[in-house]
Amino acid sequence: MSEIYLTLLLMITLFALLGSGVWVAFSLFGVGLFGMTLFTDAPVGDVLATTVWGASNSWALAALPLFIWMGEILFRSRLSEDMFSGLSPWMGKVPGKLLHVNIFGCAIFAAVSGSSAATAATIGKMSIPELSKRKYPESMMIGTLAGSATLGLLIPPSIILIVYGVATEQSIARLFIAGVLPGLLLVGLFVGFVIIWAMINRDILPDVIEEISLSEKLKRAKSLLPVVILISGVIGSIYTGIASPTDAAAVGVVLALLLSWFTGDLNKTTFFEGLMGATKTSCMIAFILAGAAFLTVAMGFTGIPKLLAEWIGGLELSPYALLAALTVFFVVLGCFLDGISVVVLTTSVIMPMVEQASIDPLWFGIYIVIVVEMSQITPPVGFNLFVLQALTGRNILTVAKAALPFFGLLVLALAIIIAVPEIVTYLPNNM
């Protein structure tokens, strides 16, 4: 029981630091120092120095700033406008019409940005004025954006999957490929929901359909070609084994720069803005990872993860019961922390339990990302909700209510991959 009390004490300390506004990385370092100083005889300074260096000096982390930079470059290009003009002609006769542009646009941008908030901001800035002008229902306009933008965390290249891979020593290439089919599953669920909703609520949707010839549709679809080449180049090179995730990220940056230059969006200002944006984000994530690595080592010295795993094992929970408990835990934690912080905070304690329950760590990586996606549209700290609140001017509760059906679809997707884990494991096992 003393270990349980120690765990509670450290958790209270962590949340007290986070609640008082201390940076996540400093909070992690602080709890690690507190735990090691009070409850172990280990040389704290030596452990801190070697752990931070070891966590920072990781080749796998090199992919992180490159993929972030690729997203920053494309965020400042005409990509979103090109996607809208390329996708919208094909959606006019599908039930739900242009609402599907939000879903497919987010899915495409997710595959080049790796960021949920960037996806919501980019697609939202382009689609909200267009859909509002055509008098589409605001709740579905916001809901499709909120739900679909979460695909930025799952469809590769995903920043959070890189973080999970580094934190748990899993293959980032296999994690990337494992996210493809679950990402397509979510796109299918979102599209299916909009079609069913549109068939039930025909009177609410606008009737105006722009008649466009097949030749014009194909001409407009050409604007999608550059980004399709970019996605295929990045994901295809990883899947076929031609390139590692880091190599593919470097290729992605070069292709993104060429694409931005070709469309006339690349200039000195956008180049340096994208570079600085990527630098700031990368440093923040690397700093958090270093703090998490130190906290993991500190917890190892105290023996808490092993004892907690034994305690959970003693409860004799089935894998399904354990996953149900972890889902609630992650969603609640995600109400107060961003997704990357949730992953790095919990892996040191959670992974021994997961391994003891014989759950595949690769599959668990996709599971945890979907749960974090759910937290992105959960108040009070759902980042996607804040982005859409800024874009629409609506209060956070209105935006959260619009996103609620898509939260339910994420829960359904979670249940499907638990029932059929091959959805996650099939592609990685056949790389």
Structure confidence at residue 380 (pLDDT): 58
Task: Write out the DSSP string of 185-213.
Answer: HHHHHHHHHHHHHHHH-TTTS--------
User: Which of the four pLDDT bands, split at 50, 70 and 90, describes residue 9?
Assistant: confident
Annotate 76-98 with b (16+ C-beta within 10 A) or e (fewer).
Answer: bbbbbebbbbbbbbbbeeebbbb
pLDDT at residue 325 in the model: 83
Q: What is the pTM of this model?
A: 0.75
Contact 112, 227 (CB under 8 A): yes
Position 216 scores a pLDDT of: 73
Above 80 in pLDDT, residue 348?
A: no
Band the pLDDT of 379: cuts 50, 70, 90: low
pLDDT for 39-70, tens place per residue?
778 888 888 888 888 877 777 677 778 877 88
Residue with tokens 């799952």, as numbered in its chain: 154
pLDDT for 415 equals 93
Q: How far is CA 146 from CA 260, 274, 307, 312, in A?
A: 26, 24, 39, 35
Q: What is the mean pLDDT of residues 275-296?
A: 81
Q: Which residue has the higher pLDDT, 362 or 36?
A: 362
With a cut of 60, say whether residue 208 has pLDDT above it.
Answer: no
Q: Band of the pLDDT at 309, cuts 50, 70, 90?
A: low
Q: In angstroms, rounded to a whole number, what is the distance separating the alpha carbons of residues 261 and 265? A: 6
Q: Highest mean pLDDT range out of 5-14, 105-114, 185-194? A: 185-194
For 370, the domain range is: 3-429
- Rounded to a whole number, what is the distance in angstroms from the first to the last CA of the chain? 46
pLDDT of residue 328: 82
388 pLDDT exceeds 60? yes
Mean pLDDT score of the chain, rounded to an integer? 81
Q: Among the listed ranges 46-50, 89-93, 267-271, 368-372, which one has the minimum average pLDDT value?
A: 89-93
Q: How many independent structural domains does the chain possess?
A: 1
Average pLDDT over residues 317-329: 84
pLDDT surpasses 60 at 1: no
According to the model, what pLDDT value does residue 330 have?
82
**154, 145, 151: which is closest to 126 by C-alpha?**
145
SS3 for 171? coil
Q: What percent of the chain has pLDDT over 90?
A: 12
The pLDDT value given to residue 80: 63
Over residues 10-25, mean pLDDT: 79
pLDDT in tens, 233-256: 777 887 777 888 788 888 888 888
Residues in contact with 425: Cβ distance below 8 Å, sequence separation at least 6, in sequence order:
178, 360, 362, 363
Coil, strand or helix: which one is 216?
Answer: helix
Residue 267: pLDDT band (50, 70, 90) is confident
Band the pLDDT of 291: cuts 50, 70, 90: confident
Confidence of residue 414 (pLDDT cuts 50, 70, 90): very high
Share of residues in the chain with pLDDT > 70 (%): 90
Tokens of 423: 């959805």
* 307-317: average pLDDT: 67
What's the pLDDT score for residue 381? 58
Condensed to tens digits (0 to 9), the pLDDT of residues 67-83 reads 778 878 877 777 766 77
Check residue 376 and give its pLDDT: 76
Give yes or no for residue 396 having a pLDDT over 60.
yes
Higher pLDDT, 229 or 60: 229
Enter the tokens of residue 370: 């979907």
